[in-house]
Structure formats: C-alpha cells, structure tokens
Structure 1
C-alpha cells in the first residue's frame, strides 16, 4: 500500500506561471518606482541649483555694497579680448580663499587673442573648480581644454560654469557688448542698483546655460541635444573697431526681432563660417560666450546660439525639465517656464525698459 508524505514533509515550490506573475509584478513596481526616484533626485538638483544662484546673487550684492556698482566684464587698455569675469571679481564674496590667492587683478588674465594664453598663476586658478558655479543637473564634463592664440598656442585647462550674467535682450546690435546694452552687464559697465530703473525685482541678474561641446570648432550639430550646445560661428567683422565702438555690431548683420528667423538669417549671412563650441568653458574669463547670456532666445531654445570672436547670442538653457532658474537683482530666485511669452522674457532682461511685468 502506498504511503503519503505528511503535509510537513511535502516540497513546496512556485509553478512557472506563478513565477512569471511575480516577475511581472516586480517589473511593474520598479517601473513605477524609478520615475519617482528620478523625480526626487531632480527636485534635489533643482533646489541645489537655486541655492547656487542665491549664493551668486548674494555675492553680487556684497560686491555692489563695497564698490557701489555691480561687477562687469572689463578689458585692459584698448583691447577687447576679455579679462576677469564677474565671477572672478566676486571671488572674495563667496569664500574662495584658495582661488583668490591665485588671482592677481593687477596683472592681465591672459595675453594674445582667441582666446589668449593664461598668465601664471591664473592658469592654476582657471583650472580650479568652484562648486557654486556648477549646476548639479549638468551631465557634461566641467573641465575644458582650450588651445590659445587661435590654435597656435598651448592647450590649457579651464573649469567651466553653468551660470552667466544678464547682458540684456541681445536684439538688434545689443549682442555687441563692447557698447552699452539694455541689460546690466557689458564691457567696462558701471551699473549700480540705482540705475536699474525697472526695479531690482523686475530685472534679471543671472541665469543658467548648458555647457557647450568640448571641441573649439565642431562639425554641424545633427540632433536637438547638440544644437542646444553648439553655436553658429561668424566672422569678426565689426562695423567699428574702436573701443567703445562708434557704431556697434557687425557689418551686414542685424538680428531679426523674431528668433525663429535667426537661423535662416545667420546661415544666409556672408559672415557665417562654421560652428563653435565650448560655451561656458571658463568661469574665470569675461568672454561673453563663457560667462554671459541674453534674452534673445526664449528659455530652452532649440535654435543654436551665435558667436563672433566671443560676442553674440547666448540663450538660457538647462537640463531641468520645463525651464530655467533666473536670479533677479533683488536676490530672489525663481523658475521660469520655457513657455513664457517672449516679450515678457525680454522685458525681464532690461534695466530701464519701463515695461509692465505681467505673466511672470
């Protein structure tokens, strides 16, 4: 007679169907959990980015209180090749003593052009990262290698920045910051808070941008991600070579009011000579394509920027979904949607446009 094993001795196991059901449930749960984790991480990164801009704007306020003007790009003598950036000038106000010891404002930052060769010990300072100047959502390397003197000089390391100071609307010839713009920053500007007639809370001070591609002269960008990080490269054909210029802008190049027309206009221009990279490559340098931005493009624009020997159109972009952070001159920081009306966005960039700020 066959005996049966008691229940306590019977082997228990999943059937194949049960195993597949459990795997499916786990897959669904992981699929639900992963976006939540990513969203939580991005929220933390956005908060850190906002805090970075608050620290930068606080440093600007301390600088203005000390010097009775906001920091601005400047050049030495009659040159226009750039010198210490606003971030370098504000170094004493965000407790970067190790970097400050390497900066000598009584010496040039660099010599030569396009870009210049760094003068020691500024080469060590340029390569030193400042954590406050990097957005945690940026997924490109913050170290750039730049060949000086139009490719004939040494290759030097720079630490990049995701933040830039407001150069104005960029409309017309305001992309040429050798002359005064409608923003708060241009070469040798002396803008104090009293000159911001539109009100400190209605005027942008800093925003963020994506770092450019590593190559100084990249090929044409073939996808949307690269188009947001690559710039049209124009011949440096100034109407006036004097500093400041008698007539700002480039011969035969005046930006259309509508940014949707900018790409076709630029491609058709006789000044268009290829592509440029390395946006934001060096926090220490006052070259506009590294540490400046304007409000010509709407936030997160997919139309490439434009540069001509460092000047040009440089949009606000980020890896944050839906928009960019903007720090205003009063020290407040807000998140601006990529769907903002272009007129409102440009009004935010002017210091004395007398616009009525609605919808922001």
Structure 2
C-alpha cells in the first residue's frame, strides 16, 4: 500500500516575522520621503497664498494709490474712507474684493465694529488664502471671545502685515546700526509715539493718534524700495501659543482666555512689529523667527518661513538670518545699508 504524504502550504512563523520586518523597514524608509513630499506641497501652497495676497495688495494700490492700513483704530477713525471714530477694522477685509470674495465684502458693515454681530458671517468665513497648510490645525474657528461689550468668533489667519520692529529690539541693541533709531538715546520713545518713525513698516494703524489719522502709504513713500521691504510674514498657529520647535507653549498653550491676539484674518490686531524673544520662545531676546508666535515671525516649515515683499516676490527666509537684517527689511524709510549681511 502506498501512503501519500500530505504537505501543508503557508508561512512558518519565522517566515511571517521576516516579512513583517521587511515591511516595517520599507515603511521606515518611505515615511520620511512621504512627509518631505507633503511638506514641500504645503510650502508651495503657502508661497502661492502669499503671491495671491501680494497681487491683492497691489490691486488695492492701483485702485486707491496707497496700500491698505494694518487696521483702523476707534480713537479717530479713518476720515479718508468715511470711517467714523468708535469702530475698528482689520486689513483683511479691505482685500476681500481682490481675492475673489466680493460677496463677503458687500455684506460687511463699516459703520459697526468688525466684532459686531452684524459682521459675524463675514469674519467667521474660512478663507484658504489666509491659512498655511503646514499648521497643525487648519480648521480654526476661534471663539467665542469676549472683550468689553463684544462677544464674537473669528476664523484664523496665518499671515500678518508687518509694522516694523519694536522698542525692545532697539533698546537691547539688536538694531543699533540703523540711522535715526534708538542708539545712544537714554530715553527712547514708546512704540505708539514712534508711529511713522524710521523703524516703522508699511502697515500701520490709521486713527490711533491725532497725528496719524491717515497713515496709509503708497509706493512713493516706501523709500527703502519695494524689493527691500517685507510686507507680510507668517505668524502661524494663532490663537494657540507655540514655541521653538513648533511645540505648544509649556505653561500657556491656549494663549490665554481669548487666545493670542490677532488670530483672525479680519482682526484689527493682526499686524505686529517684531520685538524678539528668547531662543526657547520664553522671555525677551534676539530671536525673531520660529521661537514663538506671539507677534513674531513663526512658521511650521522647517528652517525658516515664507515672506511676501513689496515687489510681489515671495521668499523663504532662513530662521538664522541676522536679526538686524530682518529688522531692516521690515522698515520702509529706514535707509539701512545691509553691506555683507
């Protein structure tokens, strides 16, 4: 009698473990490459967003012969545009007709505050052009927030108009090469009184002070040159608070009861002047980029951030750039000579 030997098909346990190990190695090799491709795509989209905003800013300038201000303050309003005292508005709304959002623009009420109930439909709209796709959370409807008599919500934005550099940098000596700045002055002026000074940027607030009711500037008033003057920077992730390495703030990750100021694309407080922070993102210091997002240049891109310049060019600036050079690039009439830097 012949006996047939029955053979079993399939993997042994050792073979299965070998296959799993090979798959794990392949995933380990491919995952960083996939992440790099995704970040490259996100960075490209961030660049394109800034290009669109640059076109919008120049379209506004073509229409009015000046760029929109960073905002309108309630103290004096903006008479040139018929905006009375008592209400405030942000730069983002001025650009709506030039980023294909005319429907939102026509709904907006200029006779009431940007935080008023009448403007909630507009300021809570999610506009992709204001959002960097590299932020940890691109879906950021902020609020409800409360300040004074207002309770409102707003949709976040990651790009902020530059107002120059601030007193803290100058007093610490990080900008002492700039002619006419605080160097040697034992009693430097405050940031507010310094509106219009040589350390100021293109985008200031109209109506904050009696002498600065109409400080919206045109190309002719940017004497440093458009290609030398930074218009928009990333200050990404607001209202949440982040520090060096893109990590949440160790003690205040939410940024406070209302989150960090200026989080919304329509916010009156979206603009800022750089004042530096410590290298760990805490306290004051010379770091102007990627150390914290509390009114500083902050990006979730590796090694730097995306910046829009006045000539419409969009540049990725290394986070290790000299603070003096970046400060010079934020001013419009500083007359700086950068030399080898």
Using the size of structure 1 for normalisation, the TM-score is 0.71
Deviation of residue 334 (structure 1)?
Answer: 0.8
Q: Residue 271 of structure 2 is aligned with which of 283, 292, 312?
A: 292
Distance 1:325 1:99 in 2: 27
Q: CA RMSD in A?
A: 3.4
Q: Residue 109 of structure 1 is aligned with which of 113, 117, 123?
A: 113
The answer on whether the counterparts of 1:160 and 1:282 sit within 8 Å (CA) in structure 2 is yes
Deviation of residue 20 (structure 1)?
Answer: 1.5
CA displacement 1:239-278 (0-9 Å, x = unmatched): xxxxxxxxxxxxxxxxxxxxxxxxxxxxxxxxxxx99733
Q: Equivalent residue for 2:331?
A: 350
Distance 1:279 1:358 in 2: 36
Distance 1:335 1:82 in 2: 36
Q: What are structure 1's unaligned runs of at least 5 residues?
A: 111-117, 234-273, 307-312
Q: Equivalent residue for 2:18?
A: 21
Q: Counterparts in 2 of 1:166-315, with a 5 A limit?
A: 166-172=162-168, 175-176=191-192, 179-181=195-197, 182-188=200-206, 189-213=215-239, 225-227=247-249, 277-287=259-269, 291-297=270-276, 302-303=281-282, 314-315=295-296
Deviation of residue 146 (structure 1)?
Answer: 3.8
* Shift in alpha-carbon separation, 1:120–1:15, aligned structure 2, 3 A: closer
Deviation of residue 83 (structure 1)?
Answer: 1.7
Aligned residues: 293
* Shift in alpha-carbon separation, 1:38–1:359, aligned structure 2, 3 A: farther
2:73 corresponds to 1:94? no
Q: Equivalent residue for 1:158?
A: 154
* Shift in alpha-carbon separation, 1:305–1:164, aligned structure 2, 3 A: farther
The answer on whether the counterparts of 2:89 and 2:266 sit within 8 Å (CA) in structure 1 is yes
Q: What are structure 2's unaligned runs of at least 5 residues?
A: 78-84, 169-188, 207-214, 286-293
Q: Equivalent residue for 1:258?
A: none
Distance 1:175 1:325 in 2: 26
Using the size of structure 2 for normalisation, the TM-score is 0.75
Distance 1:45 1:300 in 2: 26
